[in-house]
Amino acid sequence: MVKSERWHDTIPSLAGWLLAGLMVLGLTGCGQKKDTHPGQPVTKREAIFKQILRTLEPMGRMVRGNKDYDAAEFLQYATKLQTLSTQPWPYFTPGSVYSPSRVKNTVWSKPDEFKAAQQKFISAVTTLHTQAATNNMEAIRPAFHAVESSCKSCHQEFRGPPR
């Protein structure tokens, strides 16, 4: 009984320490501001792009021979990439230009080109997925490079330095 009372006594101070720790983490963590904009479009599209990058990276290692080619694993990434490929675009809402966004105003001044760049990317990802199912790296490699170049060409036109 005594033991459990002591335990209860420690809870408030433990909680206090935890809270203080979390606050310190929150204050120092990456120095990033909270996205207070309605719908948080910059935070949301950034999170999807990061997932896209994290999916692409292990595929790139297999394509370049830095990681053993595992056909099933590669196909899983290709499937995931296909799901992700359509997701960032609805978050490019008018006026969603604020720090730390790297978006250029060309997204809104050249909407047809931006849309075309999305389509090019989505279709390159679809081709990559089709090729991934063949389990043939010789067919996969050029399809993978086409996806990479569709990322790059869009970034050249529509992504600038951090704000």
Short-list 76, 57, 73, CA closest to 144? 57
Tell me the window of 11-19, 27-35, 47-55, 59-67 that interacts with ligand HEC (CB under 6 A).
47-55
Q: On the CB side of 129, how many CA atoms lie within 13 Å of its CA?
A: 17
- Draw the binding track, 5-44, toward ligand HEC (x: CB under 6 A; -: no contact): -------------------------------------x--
Among 59, 63, 78, 121, binds ligand HEC (CB under 6 A): 121
Distance CA 125, CA 110 (A): 23
Smallest distance from the beta carbon of 74 to ligand HEC, in angstroms?
Answer: 15
Using CB under 6 A as the binding rule, whether residue 59 contacts ligand HEC is answered as: no
Pick out residues in 142-161 that bind ligand HEC (CB under 6 A): 147, 150-151, 154-155, 158-159
Using CB under 6 A as the binding rule, whether residue 102 contacts ligand HEC is answered as: yes
At residue 67, what are phi and psi to the nearest 5 degrees? -150, 140
Smallest distance from the beta carbon of 83 to ligand HEC, in angstroms?
Answer: 13
72: left (phi over 0), alpha (psi -120 to 50) or beta: alpha
CB 38 within 8 A of CB 94: no
Smallest distance from the beta carbon of 137 to ligand HEC, in angstroms?
Answer: 19
Distance CA 91, CA 76 (A): 25
Spacing of C-alpha 145 from chain mean position: 19
Residues that bind ligand HEC (CB under 6 A): 42, 45-46, 49-50, 52-53, 56, 101-103, 107, 117-118, 121, 147, 150-151, 154-155, 158-159
